[in-house]
Chains A and B, each alone.
Chain A
């Protein structure tokens, strides 16, 4: 194993000045407050396994207070009663403040989630800002319709804000997830409670502070850090929350939907796991394909629901492709996320770290060939080498389960029909990548794969205007695009008889 590539980054506590952790309390009704129980929990730095800060731990009683504030803000406060342009003005101010503080926010996420600082600066934060600005611009363009009734009736639909929304967001893209959930919900005129993941509460609390500075009225945006079984469960089963938007694991998604059903039958939207295929055809540029595959599996240390971790390479280019993969993997640097030379940082916490390593062992045990990597980096923190398995059978654990780490599985295929069939043989359906310049293959395959996002000759091609979400057990409901607003709106029909209308 070429030593130079693995564990080859710099791990020295970097020269980057770590930010002071300014916000560690719950944000309810415009104030930072302790949890009612007085309890706190530690948020861990995955570069070292050590605590960064103590954060107030929200539980059911705190959620109740937050919901009370959000309910009042919705039922009686100015936010839903503002014209769309006023919400726009305030949201744009919010976006500007996020932009002004991007460096500090990026650093917070880097140490909280082990994400690369240099990519946070050029991808995550700018996208979060753009997403808020996108929805700011949508707030005054929410249309219902007048209808074509079959008798003398006038009728129209109103798209009304649904009310108090619960957002439960994951730890892999703390800032981006915050923006894509909160943006449309605020634009629609809703009020909300955000429960950031317990692993990554820091930036959410900072956003709460900026929201207040921007002029978002008290009670409209509340942030309650805490754990899933306590704060998260309290939100899912709250009788006074009108809707839940969740991104996270399939297992938790189930519990949320069940809790919603047993409580007040609130609608839920779930964006869950994936085991997305990347299909590379013979006519693809092998170098580009290898680059795409590497990014698809190792970007953000594989902690991304749309990771293209099942790579199907057509037999004509298979061997060439493997060579290129190895070459590029050797230049993939695992190191401190604050170091601009790193390509990926540590896994977010010990649980994830152990889960990934156990999947790697499982892969070896089941008889797949370990082609590259496969070992943890021998030092403090949760660093794992980029890992590639070949000779993987479709029904192996590593081919079916979502690993959520830097582990790629490579398969060989003969023809289009086989690729489609095998790509679809998963309970998930989040994304898929297709690499080919053949128009007909691109069209056929994009229509045939049962997944919500199809990327042709690109990957992770997210965009504020492009709806994103799952098929099958990857969930339902869409984030991003104008479609995302639907989650936070309800359709009301209003009908009145008319007399002497000159047309129908």
Chain B
């Protein structure tokens, strides 16, 4: 078993200076009204990294006041789309210029791989901003085909002040997934980053100001869900809330929105995503894709492929290859360029994952590899593969959010579809086959918002992303995402002597 915990776990790598630790409201870094602070923890060691100002209801009120003023009377929504584009492009450039520092902060805060953040995640953040910057001047309504002498058209207007509540697994990417379209639409925002991972959000606030984004447009209030988060969901002056996180908290956000001012919400929640591997798939490729799909970002991905359905013809060979590859997967310090997997984000997640592993064993699944924590400091866990998993086991039904893979055997296409759909979730699904008809039938039949055929986690900024069923509603990415931050207004006037209808 020693081979699995095979990376370097000492945090001997360079740690960045933490420059921004206060709330960012109306263009300034300020202490919380209460003066309270909290510690953000380094998951490589369990030790505190920095003290961050802790926002609560009163701070959210101040941020909303600033955002309200900026929207109702400020220049941001009144800029032409090209004006917002220019500033957002500058913001994106500043992100590129500071990629290393941002990547280091995120690696430190969330245990994410530094080399991946620097090469992929953070550059994608800048690209996301650029994509939406380029959309700002292309937001169209329609002229309508009225049935009598009336001129009618729709205007798509910015909805106003947007509350953004994001999780800790992709702090930067999920932030800009929401901020990009919200800003392009002309809205102003109040952001609550996850309490586990506030560092990059505050750094971005600094860059926003540097880029020239007017005061009050971009506000960041770190704090806890039940205080700052709840204050946002139930705020009477916030026009819309967009949330990515757990299904349980998604419920609370929607309830609070209903009880307060009936603000619309968009929710992107959990998943228990199936990956269906058909007999005709190349086993080596399949094993690689599944490994990546399940273990990437230490399994802390809402689209993680956690139920692997393998057709019986290749089941044996597939599980052997998967286990072999899992054994070469390096768990180690996220700053070490050789690591494939860093620590889980915090003790709570770490404990939860380990308890699910025990549950899996108790329920009778066969542990093929892994199953134990790595090292005695921090929150590292071995990549874990269970075989002979039954559909009604808890490890097959509940979202674990860690490096745990469940293998299930199937016979026919119909069976795969039925079992893949037997979940309250509906976020993503993977299909491995070169058969055109199987690909088409299965992609249409699985009730999930994103289907990946012969690939996985193939996100793209132009590709809408979101859930079916209890994985939520509303779409991020793509031009579709703008809808979340716009409202449709119809304007109708009578016409006289029109030469056509």
Contacts and interface: CB of A to CB of B under 8 A. Distances in A.
Interface of A: 130, 147-151, 153, 155, 157-158, 160, 242, 250, 253-258, 260-262, 264-265, 267, 270, 272, 427, 442, 446-447, 451-458, 461, 463-469, 471-473, 475-478, 481, 483, 490-497
A137 B494 CA distance: 25
Given A463-B147, A463-B150, A493-B463, A258 B489 contact: no
Contacts of A467: 154, 488, 490
B449 A490 contact: yes
B261 A463 contact: no
Contacts of B154: 466-467, 481, 483
B493 A442 contact: yes
B262 interface: yes
24 contacts: A151-B460, A153-B458, A155-B462, A157-B463, A158-B444, A256-B258, A257-B255, A258-B254, A261-B258, A265-B247, A265-B269, A267-B473, A463-B152, A467-B488, A472-B261, A476-B487, A481-B144, A490-B449, A490-B468, A491-B464, A493-B449, A493-B463, A496-B439, A497-B455
Contacts of A475: 262
Contacts of B439: 496
Contact of B150 (A254, A458, A472): A458
Contacts of A456: 491-493
Nearest to B493: A456
B454 A493 contact: no
A446 B491 contact: yes
Contact of B488 (A153, A455, A461, A483): A483
A155 B262 contact: no
A247 B473 CA distance: 20
Given A258-B259, A495-B453, A147 B463 contact: yes
B187 interface: no
Secondary structure at chain A's binding surface: helix, strand, loop or mixed? Answer: mixed
Given A262-B255, A494-B451, A466 B460 contact: no
Given A463-B147, A463-B148, A491-B464, A261 B451 contact: no
A79 B11 CA distance: 60
B492 A272 contact: no
A281 to B, nearest CB: 14
Interface string B243-281: 000010011101101110110100101000000000000
B492 A466 contact: yes
Contacts of B493: 442, 455-458
B262 A261 contact: no
Given A467-B154, A490-B449, 13 more contacts: A149-B460, A257-B255, A258-B255, A264-B424, A265-B254, A265-B472, A456-B491, A465-B145, A472-B261, A476-B487, A493-B465, A495-B450, A495-B458
Given A253-B262, A267-B473, A492 B491 contact: no
A465 B152 contact: yes
Nearest to B440: A494
A228 to B, nearest CB: 16
A147 B462 contact: yes
A463 B453 contact: no
A494 B453 contact: yes
Contacts of A256: 258
Contacts of B489: 451-454, 471
Given A452-B487, A457-B493, A457-B494, A265 B264 contact: no
Nearest to A461: B492
A216 to B, nearest CB: 23
Nearest to A162: B468
A272 B488 CA distance: 16
Contact of A149 (B146, B269, B462, B464): B462
Interface string B482-501: 00000111111110000000
Given A469-B488, A496-B439, A496-B455, A272 B448 contact: no
A306 to B, nearest CB: 11
Nearest to B439: A496
B33 interface: no
B227 to A, nearest CB: 20
Contacts of B87: none
A257 B145 CA distance: 33
B461 interface: yes
Given A265-B247, A491-B464, A492-B450, A130 B492 contact: no
Contacts of A158: 444
Closest 10 CB pairs of A and B: A257-B258, A261-B254, A267-B473, A476-B264, A456-B493, A496-B453, A461-B492, A258-B258, A261-B255, A494-B451
